[in-house]
Each structure stands twice: as structure tokens, then as C-alpha cells.
Chains A and B, each alone.
Chain A
Amino acid sequence: MMLRLAWLALAGMLLIGPASAQTAFTPRDESPEEFAPGAGRDETFYACTACHGFRLVAQQGMTRAQWEDSINLMTRRHNMPPLDGKDRETVLSYLEAAYPPRAPAGRGGWVNPFAK
């Protein structure tokens, strides 16, 4: 184990190497404070990050109904524990308020590199 870590650290210092220099990838620790503030942020953060990065959540912009669909999908198909009652309300309300459909519409993910 120590040997492995040492090897990984060495590869990290070299930063680049032959294509065969591979390693497992450990995601950076995210913290709730990095994401949109609002009531329920921490509860939502921990409900989602048991499996995946919160960045996946924060990339989205959806209506409450679409967030509800997403939570249902996670429970039905990806082993998320059911989110009921007050917890569900807390998480849904946060997502609805913090990550609504993005405006203006129709920009296609394209950002003007010269915009101030």
C-alpha cells in the first residue's frame, strides 16, 4: 500500500508521463460551501454525494418536476435510499430554488469569450 502511494505521488510530481502511467483517480473533496447558497443546501449535498459528485447536480438547471423525476430515477435505478417526507421537501425546495432552468434560453452552452 505504501509502495503504491509512493509510486502514485511520484507520478503526480512528474505530472506527465508515458500513456501507460495510469493510476486510480480520487475525486477532489467537494464541500457544500462551494455551491449555491440556500436553505437545504447541506442536506441536498450529502444526499447526492453519497454516490456522485455534486458538480453533476450543479451542472443541471431544471424545474421542480424535473428534479423530482431525477430523484425518482436515482432511487429506482441507482440505489439511492428513498427520500421521503420532510427530507424530500427540503432537498426538492433547495434544488428548485438553487438550480432552476437557466436563462436566457437558447444560448447553447456557448459563452462569448469577449463578454465582460
Chain B
Amino acid sequence: MAREAWGITADGNNFDTGRRGFLGSSGLAAIGAVIGGVLPLSRNGIGIPPAHAQAAPATAPAPAKGPQYLKFPGKNAGLVVLGEKPLVAETPESLLDDDTTPIEKFYIRNNGQIPEEAKDPDAWKITIDGEVNNKIEIALGELKSKYKAVTRRMVLECGGNGRAGFSPPARGNQWTNGGAGCAEWTGVPLADLLKKAGLKASAKYTAHYAADLHLSGDAGKPTISRGVRIEKAMEPNTMIVWAMNGKPLPNIHGGPVRLIVPGWAGSASQKWLTRITIRDREHDGPGMTEFSYRTAIKPMVPGDKADPANFRILESMPVRSIITNPANGAKFAAGTKELKLRGASWAGDLTVKQVDVSTDFGASWQRATLERPKNKYDWQRWTATLKLPTDGYFEIWARATDSKGAMQPHQAGFWNPQGYGGNAMHRIAVLVG
């Protein structure tokens, strides 16, 4: 089978995702499963080996030890793959050490199939319809030439960032803190187009649609269709963008054109944007209802069965800080008495007013030096110099406090089935000597 041919090593870990991707296609067995909709007894046709027919062990081994690293053209090999179908990869905190996150280090989140790269980006059409006086259909090239472009450095963060902190585990990709990055986005404020279209008094909410195909292959089914309140759509930092860090927006990041709705769950920033329909009520597309991007109104018992009536849509992301240097697991020479830290912090729609660090599990805290954001929704870099009393094992914890006084908790709280709002303090471990 393909396993041997494509270099899976004895520990099942060191496979070459990128190479496999270039030279092969999906496995025939998987295709068969799609077409036939059947449950074959086993792939090799000899049935389930007797050893596997026994009762399963109480605890299951992970499929592979340690992280699986991404192999994708133009992307940093330090990104950690959370899933390949759909392709999802997060950026370890220590790779978020640049003031502006380079494209190669920017996290990847897909919900469906990745579209083919657009051959003629400027011909890409965007439609604005629904509760507007004049429907707009505009090609990207026209958008670039007829509207005034702006560039802003803004955080984009997956709604599920921090999900791995929930106990019991919440359903979904188990992001640690790496579903975030801060890039320079160039485009036009969505408000400019909405004003041109003319919002009716009934305009309450947006509904975003895109070109990526649902994983099931059903072309009639949107992969994901999020939306935001019209007030957020009209604020000047919500943009339709075509460039990232001064380069044409890469296909893997939603190019040639996507939305950026800064401060809110990343999925609202629809990739491969084709249409925005203005609605007279909260949008109910895939990714808007039940427990998707929704948190509990009345806090629920972790792990209990949830009642959809008790849920409301997630809007602003919570405050978060990360230590970007040193890396988790760094070792220092014996006798090292001082450590210089660097980090980043951000707070959804708000700003960060304070970052503190601790080397004694939170018994005492030291204030970090915090920079101002370059513009609204930029992250805030911070630095601190720590004194260490002895050699040995230390954990460094970081916590940020937002402009309204909310501080990161020790644990991800307010459990919900799909794990939104997890913003436990970041911690790293270092060894001196």
C-alpha cells in the first residue's frame, strides 16, 4: 500500500505530507468509501485481525507521538498540523516572534476543500445583495481601481483558539494558542461598498459566501457561511482584502480576495469571498447556529448535554497573551541569572492594558513593558527581564488584562460543547543548568 511507498517510518510519525500531496491523489479506498457509501470490513480484505477484535483498551494511544509538522510550499516547516482534511495547522507561540507575522508562519484554517488557485484574480466577482437598494456586482480588478485602498496591521484569530485548554475536551480542532497571527492587510473597508449599495432600514446582519467546496463534495452546500451584525460590518476596520504583507493574498489564505473582520472569530473573515447578502435578522448559515461559534448564556456544567436555546453567537475574541521567546522547552547554561522575554498580546475588539509574568506559578507577578498597537486591532508586543534565583526548572506564565479589566484565567472556563472563549494563561517551561 501507499504506506511503504511514501516513507512512513517505523514510528508512523515522520511522513512527508507535502511530497505525498504532490505526487499522489486521494487513496482509492477513500474514494470507494465516498462513492459507495459502504463500510468495508477492512482495507486489505482479510477482515479485522484477531488481536483487534478484542475489547479495546481503556486508554488509546495517540496516532503518532509528538507533533506532525506541515509540509506545504511557501509555509514554515515549524507549523503544526492539526488535520489534513480539512487542512488545519497552527503556529507554535515561538514562531509568532515577528512584529508582523510573515505569510510563511501564518496559521492555516480550512473548513472545506481548498479551491484551485484563481487563474485571473482581477476577474473574480463579488456580489453584494439582500437588504440593499442597489445590488452590486464587482470584479476584483474594478474594486482595486475604483475604491481607495487602505493597509492595516490586524490580528486574525481562529474562534477556537485556546480550545485545547478545556476540560473535559471540547469538540473540534485542538488549538493551543497558535490559531492567530498579525499581518498587514490591504483592501477596502466593507462599509464603502455597503454605502454604495445603500443599506435598507431592514439591514441587520451580513451573510458571507465563498468558493470553497464542502468536504462532502456537495456543491449546493456552503462549507461555512458566517455573518456579523451590521454595526460590525460598517466599522472602518472590517475590510475586503486582496493583499497580505504587501503580496497578493495567497490562495491558502483565501486569495484572491477575502474578508477581514478583525477582533471577531476568524471564520467571519470569509476566505475566497464571492458574495455578501445583507439580511434582516441574525444569519443562520452553516457555522451560525446551535453550538457553532456560540457560547452559553447561562454557564453550563462542563461536558453536559447542551441546550441550543441557551446559546448566543460569539463576537469579540477574549484577551490573550503569548510568550514568543524563549520557546517552550528552552535550555539555558548553568548560572544563568537573567532571562529576557518577548511576547505578544491582543484582546478582540479591545486593547490590552497590562501584561504580567510569573516564574513561581502565579505566587508573584512582574509587570511587562507593553507597546502600543500600531493601529486598532494590531497586537501589542511586550518584553520583560526576569531574574532567576537559582538554576533549575522554571515555568514562566504570562497573563494579559484587557482595557475593560478582564484578565486571562488560569484555566479555560465557561465550558461549551465546541470550545470557544478558551483563553487560559500561556505557560512555558525552561531548564537552567
- Which A residues form the contact surface with B (CB < 8 A)? 5, 8-9, 11-12, 14-32, 34-39, 41-43, 46-47, 49-56, 58-63, 65-66, 69-70, 73, 77-81, 87, 94, 97-103, 105-110, 112-114
Give 18 pairs: A residue, B residue, CB < 8 Å, sorted on A: A15-B73, A16-B74, A23-B22, A26-B21, A26-B25, A29-B1, A29-B20, A29-B30, A39-B53, A41-B48, A41-B52, A46-B33, A53-B85, A60-B172, A100-B58, A101-B168, A103-B59, A108-B411
- Min CB–CB distance A108 → chain B (angstroms): 4
The answer for the CA separation of A95 and B424 in the assembled complex, in Å, is 28
Q: Tell me how many residues of B have a C-beta within 8 Å of chain A.
A: 92
Given contacts A19-B74, A46-B33, A59-B174, contact A28 B60 (CB under 8 A): no
The answer for the CA separation of A21 and B306 in the assembled complex, in Å, is 44
**B20 interface neighbour in A26, A38, A63, Cβ under 8 Å:** A26
Q: In the bound complex, do residue A55 and residue B56 qualify as a contact, i.e. CB atoms below 8 Å apart?
A: no
- Min CB–CB distance B408 → chain A (angstroms): 12
Cβ < 8 Å to A, chain B residues 286-328? 286, 290, 303, 305, 328
**B39 interface neighbour in A36, A79, A87, Cβ under 8 Å:** A87
Q: Which residues of A contact B248 (CB under 8 A)?
A: 20
Q: Which residues of A contact B335 (CB under 8 A)?
A: none
Q: In the bound complex, do residue B165 and residue A109 qualify as a contact, i.e. CB atoms below 8 Å apart?
A: yes
Q: Which residues of A contact B20 (CB under 8 A)?
A: 26, 28-29
Cβ < 8 Å to A, chain B residues 219-265? 221, 247-248, 250-252
The answer for the CA separation of A81 and B412 in the assembled complex, in Å, is 34
- Would you call B15 an interface residue if the criterion is a C-beta within 8 Å of the partner chain's C-beta atoms? yes
**B73 interface neighbour in A5, A22, A38, A39, Cβ under 8 Å:** A22
Among A50, A54, A97, A100, residue most surrounded by chain B Cβ atoms (within 10 Å): A50
The answer for the CA separation of A9 and B424 in the assembled complex, in Å, is 42
- Min CB–CB distance B298 → chain A (angstroms): 19
- Min CB–CB distance A113 → chain B (angstroms): 3
- Would you call B389 an interface residue if the criterion is a C-beta within 8 Å of the partner chain's C-beta atoms? no
**A27 interface neighbour in B57, B84, B251, Cβ under 8 Å:** B84
- Would you call B338 an interface residue if the criterion is a C-beta within 8 Å of the partner chain's C-beta atoms? no
Q: In the bound complex, do residue A52 and residue B165 qualify as a contact, i.e. CB atoms below 8 Å apart?
A: no
> Is chain B's binding surface mostly helix, strand, loop or mixed?
loop
Given contacts A24-B21, A29-B30, A103-B59, 19 further A-B contacts (CB under 8 A): A15-B71, A20-B247, A20-B250, A22-B251, A23-B73, A28-B21, A29-B20, A31-B43, A34-B64, A36-B57, A38-B56, A41-B52, A43-B41, A53-B83, A53-B85, A62-B171, A97-B58, A98-B60, A107-B167
> Is chain A's binding surface mostly helix, strand, loop or mixed?
loop
- Would you call B40 an interface residue if the criterion is a C-beta within 8 Å of the partner chain's C-beta atoms? yes
Given contacts A109-B174, A114-B329, contact A69 B417 (CB under 8 A): yes
Among A25, A51, A112, residue most surrounded by chain B Cβ atoms (within 10 Å): A25
Q: In the bound complex, do residue A36 and residue B41 qualify as a contact, i.e. CB atoms below 8 Å apart?
A: no
- Would you call B141 an interface residue if the criterion is a C-beta within 8 Å of the partner chain's C-beta atoms? no
